[in-house]
Amino acid sequence: MNNRRFFLLLLCLLAPSMVFAQLDINLSSTAQIYILGDLSSGIIISEKNASRTITPGPLTKLMTLYVIFSALESGDIRLNDKIKISKMASNVPGVRMLLSEGDQVKVEDLIKAIAIYGANDAIMALIEEISGEESKFVATMNSKAKSIGLRTSRFDDAIGQAVNNRSTTASDLYQLSAAIITDFPQYYPYFKLQKHEWQSITQYSPNTLLDRDPHNDGLILGEIPGIGLLGSISSDRNGRRILVVLGGVEPDRAFAAEAQNLINHGFEASETIFLFKSNTPLTQVATAQGVDENISIGSFKDILVTIPRGTKESLKVHVESIQPLIAPIEYGDIVAKLIVRLEERTILTADLIALKEVQQAGILARGWKGLKSFVLQLIGS
């Protein structure tokens, strides 16, 4: 194994590529289950029973929409395309857009009906257009779920009505909601719409949080057996985005107030600090066998951290790296880890990359540098 590969292996052993710790801010909530985090930093502020197994039910539609948005991104469908509604799609039970066989409907109208009130006939129409049949579409859902890191979620249907529909957790639903927001910002605004009109029929979003606070902009609510209402809610205030998944609030009519309470606590009990800008030198590390003796390192993206309010002075930032780095080094190579601690507890680790390339020096140059290093060590001794 050469020095370069050995160095990269050691970096992998230092820490995972991206790990976020929970702040454990003590929040009072009557919800049986919740997970509350800041998407600006990616840090979880507080949680309760977030790993408890639950049935996804109607929130299956979030995964369905993720696949639909992916199809838009790949060009398999376009917002202005018109789809001819089949007999099967027009007869799907449950919440419906009230489509009729033979209708010609724009893809965007179908997506709005799903995002706003979860129309099952609209889902089936898009399934047939994208995959031909539901089983193939569901296979794509499970593949996408795995690719975005959902640990427990597996799906048996695209609507959430399967009798034996598999389980999920609040943590997975949080991660899926975050993926929709970050991966498809151009389509996310559909979740903020409160009503949709089709052929003179207006249907409304069941998400009462949308008009409770102008900063709230999605995502979805659903009724889950044994839990009651389960929802994924997001709010953006001054560029800082809070996301919460919660369920098991009794009675159901108290759900909106409890969700808003958690959102407000998220903003009030914590603050998000900007630490470093992407592709900006954070520090330098020594190199060996290269044309340069040092190299600047930084992050490939902005680094922010969420902490309890009033604890900024307790933040500690540390860089872990193996020095010297052995040339050749390419721009973008992971060469160090950034460790952020709050007092003695690690709350974030992130990869640091080389911000320029360092070519390997010639044989004579490497020999001279080695001799100089040896002489300096002797002098130091």
Q: What is the pLDDT of residue 377?
A: 55
Alpha-carbon distance 88 to 94, whole Å? Answer: 13
**How much of the chain exceeds pLDDT 70, in percent?**
87
How confident is the model at residue 364, as a pLDDT? Answer: 52
Please say if the pLDDT value at position 350 is more than 50: yes
Structure tokens at 97: 């857009």
pLDDT tens by residue, 184-205:
999 999 999 999 999 899 999 9
Does 368 or 127 have the greater pLDDT score? Answer: 127
pLDDT > 80? residue 47: yes
pLDDT digits 0-9 by tens, 50-107: 999 888 887 899 999 999 999 999 999 999 999 999 999 999 998 999 999 999 999 9
Strands (E), the chain: 18-20, 33-38, 43-48, 82-84, 104-106, 195-198, 201-204, 216-224, 228-237, 240-247, 270-276, 283-288, 294-298, 303-308, 315-321, 325-326, 334-342, 345-354
pLDDT at 10 over 80: no
Domains and CATH numbers, the chain: 3-19+277-380 (2.60.410.10), 31-272 (3.40.710.10)
At 124, is the secondary structure helix, strand, or coil?
Answer: helix
H/E stretch holding 51: none
Rounded to whole angstroms, how far apart are CA atoms 95 and 93? 7
* Among the ranges given (194-198, 234-238, 373-377), the one the predictor scored with the smallest mean pLDDT: 373-377
pLDDT of residue 22: 63
pLDDT, mean of residues 331-338: 91
Half-sphere exposure of 101 (CA within 13 A, CB side): 5
Percentage above 90 pLDDT, the chain:
58
Predicted local confidence at residue 20, as pLDDT: 45
Structure tokens belonging to residue 22: 């929970």
Q: Give the model's pLDDT for residue 376.
A: 46
- Residue 219 and residue 82: Cα distance in Å, rounded? 26
* Helix count and strand count (H, E) for the chain: 9, 18
Supply the pLDDT for residue 299: 92
* pLDDT tens track for 127-152: 999 999 999 999 999 999 999 989 88
Under a CB-based contact definition with an 8 Å cutoff, are residues 283 and 294 in contact?
A: no
pLDDT of 373 reads 55
Average pLDDT rounded to a whole number, residues 296-313: 91
> What does the alpha-carbon distance between residue 159 and residue 100 come to, in Å, rounded to a whole number?
19
Gap between the Cα atoms of 36 and 242, Å rounded:
7
Point out the least confidently predicted range of 82-86, 133-137, 164-168, 338-342.
164-168
What pLDDT score does 369 carry?
54
Angle between helices 107-117 and 60-74 (to 10 degrees): 160
Contact indicator for 110, 72 with CB cutoff of 8 Å: no
Q: How many CB atoms lie within 10 A of CB 16?
A: 9
Give the pLDDT of residue 3: 41
Residue-wise pLDDT tens digits, 107-118:
999 999 999 999
Is the pLDDT higher at 285 or at 6? Answer: 285
Lowest-confidence region among 5-14, 239-248, 259-268: 5-14
The pTM of the full predicted model, rounded to 2 decimals, is 0.84
Alpha carbon distance 243, 176 (integer Å):
11
CA distances from 319 to 14, 272, 328, 340, 350 (A): 11, 21, 21, 9, 10
∠ Cα 56 181 22 (to 5°)? 75
Q: Which of 64, 249, 60, 259 is nearest to 168 (CA)?
A: 60
- For residue 12, give the 3-state DSSP assignment: helix
